[in-house]
């Protein structure tokens, strides 16, 4: 089988070269097991595409040595019967916030630019056991502090749909790479939208899981009570296969959930009849760009055709989500980052970026004597109100339909030049993390100048199976997720 073959396919007047990694994980896995494709071919294609594309988008911080990845690929090819996971032999990417033994881990900060961890994250071990092949550690906003991957010490990642614009963040590196088919899937990390934000801006799919659904052990913490480990891929079906492999209780993480892990892939075709989607009308007013609003609300007919009911509702307390998120999140990050001194990691705290120092100072101020009750304690009370607001909403519906981003991908400098605008870019994604709810971001259109638009489906605790089923069935009747950037 050739690594690439040229076939002309038109999606909205765009033309593409078909690649092995255009296919779904299920399709690739089937070809591998039938021996109509080898893992060596997959990995070789990935590295060839990386060589061509990555210099343009700067998605990688550390690229695994190709010979090492090919060695692992040959091992899977030669011992296929030993690997039962559909991820076996498939190349993937890891956001550089997860420690990997003997492989540099930086969190995109110069503080850790030469850090080689002595152990690996649980999510890495589970994927290693499945036979998946890591090919790179990906760019991000340093420590997860940002929504554009501009706050990195390894140069910003560029949006492959327009190189003058950001790819989103903080998981911008993995998202941009997946959009360019540099791997089959990636593991991101979502504290306040860091999976969903870049997924929406790069026309990919990303799942923020229920807090505790996937072990955080080995994840470099931003805000410990918000952080979640989740899959990023081309489709909801791919995310389902990845989530099955990485989810479940972990003895190394006391916050990991004891709930059984369902077969998410098998549940993708479950009936949606009788299920209701709630539309919080508060979120579709001022501040949301008109092309984004129009694209999302157009999808109501698609969801109705799938058998879903729609109901409008009010969620006025969500307006306080930004304040709750930033007070608690920055308080936690000020505590978490206190450990990064030269004695342990080789570089002192002078290497923190301006954005990181800003967040540390705000968090320290909120926790300081005389201000704790006025700010941090009040934010925790606000968190309780957000929980109640979502609980009330879910008495009327099963899933909520929300925007992901209020704006299209901005040009470089537009967000980091204005800290308030930078914060406001998270307005639709920060309320789920304090509550612990899962949320799936899927592509739903393009702006008039061909920039991607995403929507998010928010579910109740541990309702990932329903979110993935809706996302999958939606993607069976739409083609937005099939479009690729013109770089390819």
DSSP letter (8 states) at residue 227: -
CA distances from 197 to 290, 399, 439, 441 (A): 18, 19, 11, 8
Please identify which of the residues 170, 215, 256, 408 carries the catalytic annotation.
170
Contact 434, 324 (CB under 8 A): yes
Active site annotation includes 314: no
Handedness of CA 416, 339, 208, 388 (dihedral sign): negative
C-beta contacts of 312-315 below 8 A and 24+ residues apart: 312/278, 312/279, 312/281, 313/278, 313/279, 313/280, 313/281, 313/393, 313/396, 313/397, 314/280, 314/281, 314/282, 315/280, 315/282, 315/283, 315/389, 315/390, 315/393
Across the strands, what pairs with 187?
A: 94, 231
User: In b/e form, how buried is each residue of 386-404, taking b as 16+ CB within 10 angstroms?
Assistant: beebbeebbeebbbbbbbb
Active site annotation includes 39: no
Contact 471, 308 (CB under 8 A): no
Cis peptide bond upstream of 170, omega within 30? yes
Active site annotation includes 95: yes
Please identify which of the residues 39, 95, 256, 408 carries the catalytic annotation.
95
Across the strands, what pairs with 219?
A: 98
Please identify which of the residues 194, 215, 256, 331 carries the catalytic annotation.
194
| DSSP E strand boundaries for 3-64 | 4-5, 10-11, 14-15, 18-19, 60-63
Residues forming the active site: 95, 170, 194
């Amino acid at each position: 089988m050739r690594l690439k073959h040229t076939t002309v396919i038109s999606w909205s007047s765009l033309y593409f070269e078909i690649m092995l990694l255009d296919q779904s994980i299920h399709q690739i896995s089937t070809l591998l097991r039938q021996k109509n494709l080898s893992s060596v071919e997959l990995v070789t294609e990935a590295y060839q595409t990386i060589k061509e594309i990555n210099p343009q988008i700067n998605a990688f911080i550390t690229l695994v040595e190709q010979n090492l990845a090919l060695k692992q690929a040959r091992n899977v090819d030669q011992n296929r019967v030993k690997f039962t996971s559909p991820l076996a032999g498939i190349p993937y990417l890891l956001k550089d916030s997860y420690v990997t033994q003997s492989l540099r881990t930086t969190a995109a900060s110069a503080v850790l630019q030469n850090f080689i961890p002595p152990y690996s994250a649980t999510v890495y071990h589970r994927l290693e056991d499945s036979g998946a092949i890591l090919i790179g550690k990906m760019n991000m906003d340093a420590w997860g502090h940002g929504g554009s991957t501009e706050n990195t010490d390894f140069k910003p990642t560029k949006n492959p749909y327009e190189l003058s614009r950001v790819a989103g963040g903080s998981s911008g590196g993995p998202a941009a790479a997946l959009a360019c088919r540099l791997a089959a899937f990636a593991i991101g990390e979502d504290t306040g939208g860091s999976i969903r934000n870049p997924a929406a801006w790069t026309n990919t799919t990303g799942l923020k899981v229920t807090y505790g659904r996937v072990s955080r052990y080995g994840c470099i913490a931003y805000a410990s009570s918000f952080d979640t480990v989740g899959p990023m891929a081309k489709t909801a079906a791919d995310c389902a296969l990845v989530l099955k492999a990485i989810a479940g209780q972990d003895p190394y993480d006391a916050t990991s959930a004891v709930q059984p892990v369902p077969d998410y892939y098998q549940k993708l075709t479950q009936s949606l009849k009788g299920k209701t989607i709630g539309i919080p009308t508060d979120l579709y007013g001022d501040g949301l760009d008109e092309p984004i609003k129009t694209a999302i609300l157009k999808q109501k007919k698609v969801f109705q055709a799938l058998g879903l009911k729609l109901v409008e509702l009010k969620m006025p307390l969500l307006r306080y989500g930004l304040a709750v998120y930033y007070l608690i999140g920055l308080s936690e990050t000020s505590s978490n980052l206190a450990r990064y001194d030269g004695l342990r990691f080789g570089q002192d705290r002078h290497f923190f970026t301006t954005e990181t120092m800003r967040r540390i100072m705000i968090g320290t101020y909120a926790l300081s004597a005389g201000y704790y009750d006025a700010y941090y304690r009040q934010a925790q009370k606000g968190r309780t109100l957000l929980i109640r607001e979502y609980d009330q909403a879910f008495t009327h519906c099963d899933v909520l339909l929300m925007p992901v981003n209020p704006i299209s991908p901005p040009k470089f400098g537009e967000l980091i030049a204005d800290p308030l605008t930078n914060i406001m870019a998270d307005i639709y994604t920060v309320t789920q993390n304090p509550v612990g709810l899962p949320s799936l971001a899927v592509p739903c259109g393009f702006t008039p100048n061909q920039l991607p638009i995403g929507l998010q489906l928010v579910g109740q605790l541990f309702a990932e199976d329903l979110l993935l089923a809706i996302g999958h069935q939606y993607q069976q009747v739409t083609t937005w997720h099939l479009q690729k950037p013109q770089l390819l």
